[in-house]
Amino acid sequence: MKFRILIVILILVAAYSCSRKKAVKEKAVVSADIVSADEMKSILVDVFLAEGAVGVDDVYHHDVRYYTCHYYNYILKKHNVTADQFQKSFDYYASELDVMEKIMTDVIDDLSQKQSQVRNE
């Protein structure tokens, strides 16, 4: 009797484990319109650098909207991404909080590294 209960428990655990792996795998399949997490990180690093540049240049340039738009268009072109594709990707990653947290941690790490390089020069 105990042996049968043990076998049933093992089968249930195995079935649950397989169904979880399938759900995770299905979640990992992303639309072709969504840029990869690494690409999103690179885009966001450039966006934050552009925001910093516009903030510094704000004293000299009164048309902040023009320069911000110019930088954003350049960044999207550099990464070969459309504005719609970026927005869909951002919305997707914002809904996947664990992935977005990892992306933002990597963005902060990259920006900190760039800041250190500039300070050391």
List, for residues 39-70, the tens digit of each pLDDT value. 999 999 999 888 887 776 555 556 777 788 88
Residue pair 8/67 in contact by the 8 Å Cβ criterion: no
For helices 97-120 and 37-57, the axis angle rounded to 10 degrees is: 50
List, for residues 2-50, the tens digit of each pLDDT value. 445 444 454 555 555 555 444 444 455 567 889 999 999 999 999 988 8
Distances (CA, A) of 108 to 37, 42, 44: 14, 11, 10
